[in-house]
Each structure stands twice: as C-alpha cells, then as structure tokens.
A and B are shown apart, each in its own frame.
Chain A
Amino acid sequence: MLDSDEFGAKLLQDPSFVAGAAEGLAASNVDEDPILSFFDRVRYTTLKSLDKAAAAGAGAVGGAPAILVLSERPQADAKAIDVNAHRLVDIDLKDPADWQGKLVICASHATAGWWIELPEGSVDQALELLNAHGLGHSPLAIVYPAARALSCFQDGGMSDEPPIKLDLPLNSRQVTLNDIFEVLEDVRKNSLLTPMIGPPKFWNDGPAYVPGEEAERQIQWIAAAQLRSNFRPLIVDTEQVTPVGRIDIVMTNTAGTGAAQQYPAIIELKALKSKTHAANKVPDSTNVKAILKGIRQAKAYRETKGANLGVMASFDMRATKTDILNEELCKLAVAKYITDERIAVYNFYVYGDTAHAQDEAAAA
C-alpha cells in the first residue's frame, strides 16, 4: 500500500484528479449567503449552456427568457403550481432551447429542477403565478438568453427592490490590465452606477450619499461574478488568506504552471465614501488612507502570490468626486508601489443621485 505522501504525489500527477477537482472548484462557490450562491450557480449553469450552443455553431441565441426560482422542495413547489410539471436535469449541459421560455423551480445548485411553460410566454404572468402559490418572495433569476443577461431578485419577483444585474458574455477574455479595467468598468456602468440599477440596499439614502451596510460586500460579489464570466474558465475566489493579509479577489488558472501563470491576477477593492452607513461624515483623509492601503496591499499580495498582475480598484461612492488619485499622498504611493507595468490603480465613480450620473454622461 502506498503511504500518504506517495499516494498524494501520485494523485497530483493524475490529470483527471486535477482537472476533475478544478471543474468542481469552478462549479462550487464559498458564498455564505445561500441566495447569492444560487445566483452564482445560475450564472454558471446558464453560461455553460450558452457556451455549449455557441461551440456547436448555434449562432446568436434568441427566444424567450427563463425564470429560475430557488426552492427547498422543487418538486413539491412545482407540482403545487402544475401537477404536470416536468423534471429538468443537467441545465448546464442542455441546449438553451431546453430551458428557454420555462419557469423552472430549481434546487440550490441550479443544474436541475421542475419546470412548466411560462404562462403565455410572459414573465409578468409567471411572477403572478408564483405569487398566487406563495412563492412571490422566493429568490429568482430571470435569464435573458438573447441579451445574454441575468437579473437576480433576492426577495422574489414581487419585491420592489431592484435586481442584481449580471452579464453572460459571449466570449471569454485574456487577462490583461486593460481587460480587467473594462470588466470593472462594466460592473460600474451596468450594475452599480445609480440607485436605479444598483443592487438592493446598496444605498441607505442615495441622494444623501449614505451607502448601505453591505455595499463593499455587494461590490465584491458582483465584481467576482462578472470576472468569472468574462475570464472563464479561470477560478475567481474572494477573501483568500495569505500570510500578509486577506486578498479580495484572486484569479487562478488551474492549468497554469508556475505562479505567474497559475495566478494571472489579484485585485484589491476599496469603497470610498463621504458618509458611513449610519450617515456619519467620513473625512476625505480616510478615503486617501484607504487608497494608500489598497495600493500597498495590491503590490504586496501580487508579490506574495507571485501573481502576474495586480490591481487596486476603488469604487467612489463619495458625494463630491475629487480627483483623489492626484492627491499628493496618493501620487507618492503610486510612485513607490506602481513600479512596473503589471500593476495598476483605477477609481470608478458611482452615484447615489441619478442626476449626478447624468452630469457625467452629458459631460463625456
């Protein structure tokens, strides 16, 4: 019998061990929130299905949206709506035509559930139907295959809260600083820019620029999900612990050899604020300190992991958007830590008041 070390070494040389485990790593997540975990699973399974259709030369996917509803008892909930509900498995491996236009009462892993047709192909009627059967506040994701977009409603279809919006991009990207910038800019523009499109409770009071209690965590979750979709099949993990601190986002290529290939990028995120979630004033010196800390962390984590790229991205939720990266202390930090072309600092403006976002758009 092989001893533990020999056995472990033999396994690590087995391509099916590493490939299988990596597939499992991509198919799982470590979100403690079961609802966010479900949304990430819907993102993963539907994107895999769309990719499969694209690889088969299906061209642009058209057609009706699908609604995937999280349920603890998918069969019972589906059959309560319609006794003729059908079982659907392997959503990730199916052609999108197999789940489009359907209301799927799903298990938490989002690869299987029980479906009925969307009543008259209508999302609104489906939401009414769910409400009539006591599922109006069950978390659900509406998948728009033609638009390659996902709207995630944490409190169900009857909630007044805005959804979390995610993309299901057609192509995967190469990991460059510019591509990371573009993905984070899409996060800003499509998922955070104003209270109208931001996730629920992102602002306690938008016009007064009072952020929600979970704003940082929401930015991190949306950024990680969008990075996963845009840089698939890389693993994008959050809160990875190293001896020098906890990295916000680590991108891992499980097929990579050597640290720089294995870790294409690390990203440190910061949220700049003019008020705390309790509406207490935050001095700009605190935001400058956050930037300085973020730049130092991005460089330190890149070096510790041996990652190829390092990024410090701040999402600027302040009421008054000064050019904070041009503050003297920030410039000194940039000079000290941004010493090569594999590290960058970005600041993304986010608005609590839609009129302020309009000002930015009009000035462009």
Chain B
Amino acid sequence: MSARTQRVKHRVRLLQLLAAADRAALAPISIDKLHAFAYLADILSPVWNLRPFEDRIGRTGRAPYYPDLQRELDFMVAMGLVLPSDISYVRKEGQPAVLTAHFALPNDSATVKSIRSACGNDAELAAQQTYLNALADALASLPDDDISAAATHDLVYEKSSNESQDFIDLASLSSRTSRAVASFDKAFPGTKLTPARRLVMYAHYLGHRVHA
C-alpha cells in the first residue's frame, strides 16, 4: 500500500472514530480517549468479525497511542476537517509538557458530510462504522473518567510479568481479549449475548479492572 493510500485510510478511520464519538456524546473527545477508543476498536474487532485497522501497537508503559493516527489528526485539524477545543499544556511529574486538546467533527462542514456520505455507500466502511458506533456506546456507558484507563487495563495491552514483547500483534485472533469475550458464554450460559452486548460487558469488565 502506498504511503498516500495509507494516509487516506488513516484519515477515513479518524472520521469514523470521531463520528462514532459524536453519536455517543463522547465528543469533543480528548486525545487519550480517542487513542483508547482506537486501540479497543482494534483489539475487539473479532467480536464484530472484522479485522483490526492497525496490525500492531507499541507497548510504551503508558496509555495506547498511535503516532500515525495522531499525525493525520493534526493534519485534519489544519485542513479544518476536525475541530480542536480545550487546547492546553499538561505537565506530568518527571515528564516534558505536552500539548493536549479535545477533538470533534465540525457540525457544518460540507466536506466532512460528503466524505461521510461516500463512506456510508461503501459496504466495508459502513460495517466498520456500525461496529465503531456500538463500541462507542459501550465505552460511553462507563464512567467518563474511566474510559481511557479502560484501554490501559485491557488484557492484551496490560503487560504480564513474563512478556518481553514491546509491541502487540493486533491481528492475532486468539488474543486474551478475544478469549475473555468468548468466556462470557460460560459465565452466563443461555443468556442472549449479541456482539454489541459483549462489547458493553467487556467494557464494564475493564471498568472494574481500573478500580481493582
């Protein structure tokens, strides 16, 4: 895939993530929440029978972060396709100050509307949007302050003591996350567990892990 195509795909993915966040009243969404959403969308994609958007993500010891996605987000802000708000510097102890902001799709952009309309006419993108909408709903049912921390406590992202890999292979279909979601059937036999319901259940499990 050419670098240009890759960039376009990242931008479309961002539009879809932000559209789902808007629909779930998560927008304007903070940087950490947006990356957490993008990560959980990748690791949970088998629940919806979809492939993850990214192949891998680095384990940095901090919250999930996709540098390529962030770069395209910055470009989209410059292009007027994404609206930033609450721009500020945050300085955590022992770390350099970082620029942070919240992001949303503009309500009145004809360009964004036409791109989203085109996406809606593509079966694959439409399926992805349905999935992202369901996941945004699931995450929004968590306490707002727990959403980004939930991704950090994902069973795959959280590094166990015997793991040395500093990246995660997101395309692995037998991830601990997938197996945990499959285990709901054993925990609640006979209960009707739709894919959307499994997302809410996994999100709330992560919510409990945040406070464990």
Bound complex: CA A11 to CA B205 (Å): 11
Total interface residues on B, CB under 8 Å, equals: 41
Nearest CB to that of B182 among chain A residues? A8
B156-190, CB < 8 A from A: 174, 176, 179-180, 182-184, 186-188, 190
- Assembled-state Cα–Cα distance A254/B104 (Å): 38
Kindly state the separation between the CA atoms of A30 and B25 in the bound complex, as whole angstroms: 21
Number of A interface residues at 8 Å Cβ cutoff, please give it: 48
Q: A20-B208, A90-B143 are in contact. Are A28 and B197 (CB under 8 A)?
A: yes
Closest to B203 in A: A24
Output the residue of A19, A21, A76, A252 with the most chain B CB within 10 A: A21
Q: How far is the CA of A75 from the CA of B22 in the complex (A)?
A: 7
Kindly state whether residue A355 has any CB partner on chain B within 8 Å. Answer: no
Please tell me if the beta carbons of B180 and A11 are within 8 angstroms of each other in the complex. Answer: yes
**When the two chains form their complex, are residues B201 and A20 in contact, meaning their CB atoms are under 8 A apart?**
yes
- Taking a contact as CB atoms under 8 Å apart, the answer to whether A27 and B192 are in contact is no
Whether, in the assembled complex, B35 has its beta carbon less than 8 Å from a beta carbon of chain A, the answer is no
B137 x A21 contact (CB < 8 A): no
Q: Mark A202-222, 1 if CB is under 8 A from B, else 0.
A: 000000000000000000000
Interface string of B129-152 (1 = CB under 8 A from A): 000000001101101100000000
Q: Interface 1/0s, chain B 103-142, versus A by CB < 8 A?
A: 0100100000000000000000000000000000110110
Residue in chain B with minimal CB distance to A25: B201
Is A108 interfacial (CB 8 A cutoff)? yes
- The reply to whether B180 and A17 form a contact with Cβ atoms under 8 Å apart is yes
Residues of B within 8 A of A (CB): 22-27, 104, 107, 137-138, 140-141, 143-144, 174, 176, 179-180, 182-184, 186-188, 190-192, 194, 196-197, 200-209, 212
- The 5 tightest CB contacts between A and B, nearest first, are A24-B201, A20-B205, A24-B204, A20-B208, A28-B200
**Given A8-B182, A28-B138, A252-B188, 5 further pairs, Cβ under 8 A:** A17-B183, A28-B197, A109-B141, A114-B25, A240-B190
